[in-house]
Structure 1
Amino acid sequence: MKTKDTLLIGLMLFALFFGAGNLIYPPFLGMESGTSFWIAITGFIITGVGLPILAIAAIALVKDGAEGLASRVHPIFSFVFISTVYLAIGPLFAIPRGATVAFEIGLKPFVQGGSIDSIALLLFTVIFFGFVYIISLNPTKMVDRVGQWLTPALLLAIVSLAVASFLKLEAPAQDVSEKYASSPFFTGFIEGYLTMDTIASLAFGIIVINAIKAKGVETHKDIMRHTIKAGMIAGVGLAFVYVAIGIMGVKMASYGTFENGSSILSSGAELLFGPSGKLLLGFIVLLACFTTCIGLTIACSQYVTKWTTKISYKTTVTVIVLFSLFVSNLGLNQIITLSIPVLVMVYPITIVLVMLAFLNRFFNGAQLVYCGAIILTLIVSTIEGLAMYGLKINGLQTLIEKLPFFQLGLAWVVPALIGGIVGYILERYTNKKPLDTKTKHVA
């Protein structure tokens, strides 16, 4: 495969990852971390860039992709979990959220408000999903359309905003906020995984692998090699953008108090470019959301058609687009409220699966290790997710709150470790042949 092809696939992957949420977090981190920005952004990049790229590599590492990885726990678990992931990052939450965020930042500031907002949202989403539908119908051209045109346009717009802020905003960094005062690196580390891109990697992995195969790459080793290269290209792009708009957040802290990253970017764009700044920001957000929605639509459609031949790819795309159109008109706040608890349940399981994929050879792929780690992670994350819906199981909730790292949203970490260790011990004493970690095992 040519270097140009790898570059285009890497740019496509960058655009797929880079949604509106990725624009909002770094500026707010910059504002709050102040003089500790570089330490905080380093932690953010490790989880906001490192984990998603590792997940993409893990999907390429496993013969049957995300389904194959989850099947190491159990085939039934694989079907239920992967289906839940695709629904969460697809038509139930992520795709509609992308469309509504594009509307909120790209168009809503220019409409009157009130009942007109609902009409404008409907018209906007009809046009938005119309274009998503057209491009998604031919996934083989995804690399050319996104890699050659949309990604460079997105990067150019972001660079314009970042360069202008670097040259025109001369305010010094403010004192670090209380949130980042004690441990700026670890706080940034936690904020990075909230981008939820690691979950999206399970869906985007198949797009990258199919794009590489379409270029004539056949062997598993070569597919993985090119996947890692494409992932590195996307990672460098993401890291650059995070630092650039993070610095903008650091400087904007001197110009007022802001509730979130969106308001920082909006105010900064208007301050730098006047009224046209809002248009530039709207263009950036629109492209970011558009490319992500296309990628998710394609990934979800390919997943459905992989399981059944009775439903065509075109029909699946049509259903996903129409359902996403309906959900998006519920409004951004409603979508976010419904989606966060589900993501709280799914994300820890995804992280554990990715980590186990890379540790696989050390325990010779023992199924009980996967089962032990995933079962305890699933219990903890499910209890926390249900609690966010108001369904608290008092005794279990009290126990969860006593676990290490609960306050950081990482209560699942220690149970996952314990489950994996117990599974390893059980595997050794229930299996007639002792585990040989030196035995070669295809990951």
Structure 2
Amino acid sequence: MKTQDLLAIGLMTFALFLGAGNLIFPPAMGLDAGTSLTSAMSGFLVTAVGLPAFTIIVLGRIGSTNNLTKALPKWLATTFWVLLFTAIGPAFGMPRAVTVAYEMGLKPFFKADHLVAFSIIFSALTLLLAFKPGNLVSFIGKVMTPALILLLAGLGLAAFFSPLGLPAAPYGDYQHSAVTSGLIQGYMTMDAIAAVGFGWVIIQAIKAKGVISQKGIASVSFKVAMIYFVLMGGCYIAMGYVGATSTSIATHGMNGSVILTRYVAGEFGAYGQWLLAAIIIMACLTTTVGLTNACAEYYQQTFKASFGFTATIIVVLTGIIANFGLNDILKVSLPAILVLCPVAIALVFASLTASATHVSTLTHTSVLVTAMVFGTIDAVSILGKMPTDLNQFFNDALPLYQAHASWLLPTLLILFMTTIMGRLPIVARKFNVVDYRLDSVTNN
């Protein structure tokens, strides 16, 4: 693959992930972390950037996102993918991007409410850019992303060379556990589940450039993941520093969007609002275009549906749901997202093991069920719906419960045990062990 093509796919990947949430999350963390920003950011980068990059690398090794659920019963695999693409697509991810683009990109310039008109125009533009998947890499990777990086670089450089304040003492949990708090905040971005969905787009983009061998796809995926890691990591560090140096204009507990809005106004004056609007709208647009392609390609490949028809339905639903408002969208969709995230990560772990050994349906199914059960416990806790007695019990009995990751250790334990069992001849015959080694994976 040519260097310019590799760079284009890497830039496209960065742009697909970079939504408004990625821009407003780090400033709030930076403000609370203060002088402990380095420690907090180190933890944040592990889960917010490391997990998605790891997912991209694993998907490249197994050659196709279909292979992520290949060992599951067909009905269970289909259910997982439908729920995932519905959640990150028209049910939650895409409407959130539309509403955030409006709230931060357009609403500050008008007194009247224009959400309906904005969502129609934004959705139409999304459909226009997504309708021809072959142009996705060229337009996003070569045009929109460089412009977006320049805008972010301008904001980041202003924060480093002309800060509005000095980092204050750590606040809240960052006083005694900055790294752990950063890990939790990074995990809560839930970009790991987005990486599973975007894998469809990334692998197809790699294959479209003529790379069809398993080894070639794995190699290019690794390089793409590294480009994404560097760019997204740099973005998070810059936005975190913006928050840490916002002490003169912000207070603890303030929303990241408010911090960012005040910061660009302080740094760039009247032009700051236009700068922020451009960054937010471009970031949200690249995300909705990427999600439209990922969802439509899945339904096209799985149910033989027309790409154009499916993409249109997805975008129309997105525009309709966006008008219900972000709070209502979160109430309905967030529980499913919180459960799907650990399930998706667990399947990535299982597939990584599968690329090097014989793995059975038993392994993938057991890992999925374990992650779903304990992920549900974490989701109830995060939503603040856990009864007091049960909360205390889980806090005492489940490792990592306070970090909202009680699913991790049980899932890894089940993965280890079932992988060992899968190598036993008797168990292998009983639970339909399949040859899932790297050199036997077929290209789609």
| Fold match by TM threshold 0.5 | yes
Residue in 2 that maps onto 1:184: 178
Kindly provide the amino acid, as one letter, of the partner of residue 9 in structure 1: I
1:304 is matched with which residue: 288, 299, 324? 299
| Residue 390 of structure 1: how far off its partner (Å) | 8.9
Distance 1:265 1:7, change over 3 A: same
Per-residue CA deviations over 1:36-63 (Å, capped at 9, x if unaligned) read 1111111111111111111112222224
Distance 1:73 1:398, change over 3 A: farther
Q: Name the CA distance, whole Å, in 2 between partners of 1:393 and 1:75.
A: 36
| Residue 419 of structure 1: how far off its partner (Å) | 2.4
Distance 1:400 1:423, change over 3 A: farther
Q: Name the CA distance, whole Å, in 1 between partners of 2:248 and 2:384.
A: 39
Residue in 1 that maps onto 2:373: 379
Residue in 2 that maps onto 1:294: 289
The alignment's TM-score, normalised by the length of structure 1, stands at 0.91
2:168 is matched with which residue: 166, 171, 174? 174
| Residue 298 of structure 1: how far off its partner (Å) | 0.7
Q: Name the CA distance, whole Å, in 2 between partners of 1:55 and 1:369.
A: 19
Residue in 1 that maps onto 2:411: 416
Per-residue CA deviations over 1:203-260 (Å, capped at 9, x if unaligned) read 2112111111111112111111112111211111101111111111111023331512
Kindly provide the amino acid, as one letter, of the partner of residue 87 in structure 1: T
Residue in 1 that maps onto 2:325: 331
Residue in 1 that maps onto 2:28: 28
After superposition, the CA RMSD in angstroms is 2.5
Residue in 2 that maps onto 1:89: 88
Extract unaligned runs of 5+ from structure 1: none
| Residue 142 of structure 1: how far off its partner (Å) | 0.4
Secondary structure of 1:408's aligned partner: coil
Q: Name the CA distance, whole Å, in 1 between partners of 2:295 and 2:429.
A: 41
Secondary structure of 1:95's aligned partner: helix
| Greater mean alpha carbon deviation, residues 326-335 or residues 170-179 | 170-179
Secondary structure of 1:257's aligned partner: coil
Identity score, percent: 35
1:199 is matched with which residue: 167, 174, 193? 193
| Residue 34 of structure 1: how far off its partner (Å) | 0.9
| Residue 385 of structure 1: how far off its partner (Å) | 4.0
2:229 is matched with which residue: 227, 235, 239? 235
| Residue 329 of structure 1: how far off its partner (Å) | 0.4
* Residue 312 (structure 2) pairs with residue 322 (structure 1): no
2:346 is matched with which residue: 341, 345, 352? 352
* Residue 133 (structure 2) pairs with residue 139 (structure 1): yes
1:405 is matched with which residue: 400, 403, 412? 400
* Residue 203 (structure 2) pairs with residue 209 (structure 1): yes
Residue in 1 that maps onto 2:78: 79
| Greater mean alpha carbon deviation, residues 242-251 or residues 2-11 | 242-251
Secondary structure of 1:353's aligned partner: helix
Kindly provide the amino acid, as one letter, of the partner of residue 326 in structure 1: I
Distance 1:389 1:238, change over 3 A: closer
1:96-135 alignment, distance < 5 Å: 96-112=95-111, 116-117=112-113, 120-135=114-129
Q: Is the 8 A contact 1:136 1:297 kept in 2?
A: yes
| Residue 134 of structure 1: how far off its partner (Å) | 0.5
Per-residue CA deviations over 1:314-334 (Å, capped at 9, x if unaligned) read 111111111101000001111
Q: Name the CA distance, whole Å, in 2 between partners of 1:167 and 1:393.
A: 49
The alignment's TM-score, normalised by the length of structure 2, stands at 0.91
| Residue 84 of structure 1: how far off its partner (Å) | 0.6
| Residue 153 of structure 1: how far off its partner (Å) | 1.0
Q: Is the 8 A contact 1:380 1:400 kept in 2?
A: no
Q: Is the 8 A contact 1:105 1:285 kept in 2?
A: yes
Extract unaligned runs of 5+ from structure 2: none
* Residue 154 (structure 2) pairs with residue 154 (structure 1): no
Secondary structure of 1:91's aligned partner: helix
| Greater mean alpha carbon deviation, residues 350-359 or residues 243-252 | 350-359
Q: Name the CA distance, whole Å, in 2 between partners of 1:82 and 1:395.
A: 35
Q: Is the 8 A contact 1:66 1:82 kept in 2?
A: no
Distance 1:269 1:73, change over 3 A: same
Q: Is the 8 A contact 2:68 2:351 kept in 1?
A: yes
| Greater mean alpha carbon deviation, residues 10-19 or residues 184-193 | 184-193
Per-residue CA deviations over 1:134-170 (Å, capped at 9, x if unaligned) read 1111010001100111101111111111111222215
Residue in 2 that maps onto 1:342: 336
Distance 1:159 1:176, change over 3 A: same
Per-residue CA deviations over 1:393-420 (Å, capped at 9, x if unaligned) read 9998776554221121112123213322
Q: Name the CA distance, whole Å, in 2 between partners of 1:34 and 1:326.
A: 40
Q: Is the 8 A contact 1:375 1:419 kept in 2?
A: no
Kindly provide the amino acid, as one letter, of the partner of residue 65 in structure 2: A
1:241-252 alignment, distance < 5 Å: 241-252=235-246
